[in-house]
Amino acid sequence: MTTPRSLAGLVHVGRQALYDRTNTVVGYELLFRGDAHAVEAAERGAYATSRVLVTAFTDVGIHALVGDTLCFVNLTREFIVGELPLPFGPEQVVLEVLETIEVDDEVVAGVTRLVVEGDRVALPD
């Protein structure tokens, strides 16, 4: 994982490189970190996801974090079912459904809506 970026020491976003079969970086998964040296997420859920999204897309800028590659972002149930809006378009982002989300009709409808709107969605194992 590369060193997290921060804004005045307040918000840290780690990025985990994702490789294809030829060991070429195809994108980065963005992850919230409580401090610049943390290797695990200090917070989880909608709050942590919101902080990653705000930092990555408005404060730091997506290009500064992932360049021209894809950006993978973990989504919580609140984002999937539409309770919280996504602050970006689908151009450079792949939305990851967390494995901890219980799949029900509302989640299936939310994922379907995202795909119909042009978003790319990655499902857990």
pLDDT confidence of residue 18: 94
What is the pLDDT tens value at each position of the chain, 125 positions in all?
444 444 444 456 778 999 999 999 999 998 765 544 433 444 455 666 676 676 667 777 788 888 999 999 888 888 899 887 777 778 889 999 988 889 999 999 999 999 999 999 998 76
Whether the CB-CB separation of 14 and 2 falls below 8 Å is answered with yes
pLDDT confidence of residue 23: 97
Whether the CB-CB separation of 43 and 34 falls below 8 Å is answered with yes
How many residues in the chain?
A: 125
- Per-residue pLDDT of 57-67, as tens digits, reads 777 778 888 89
C-alpha pair distances (Å), 49 with each of 19, 22, 23, 28: 23, 30, 28, 15
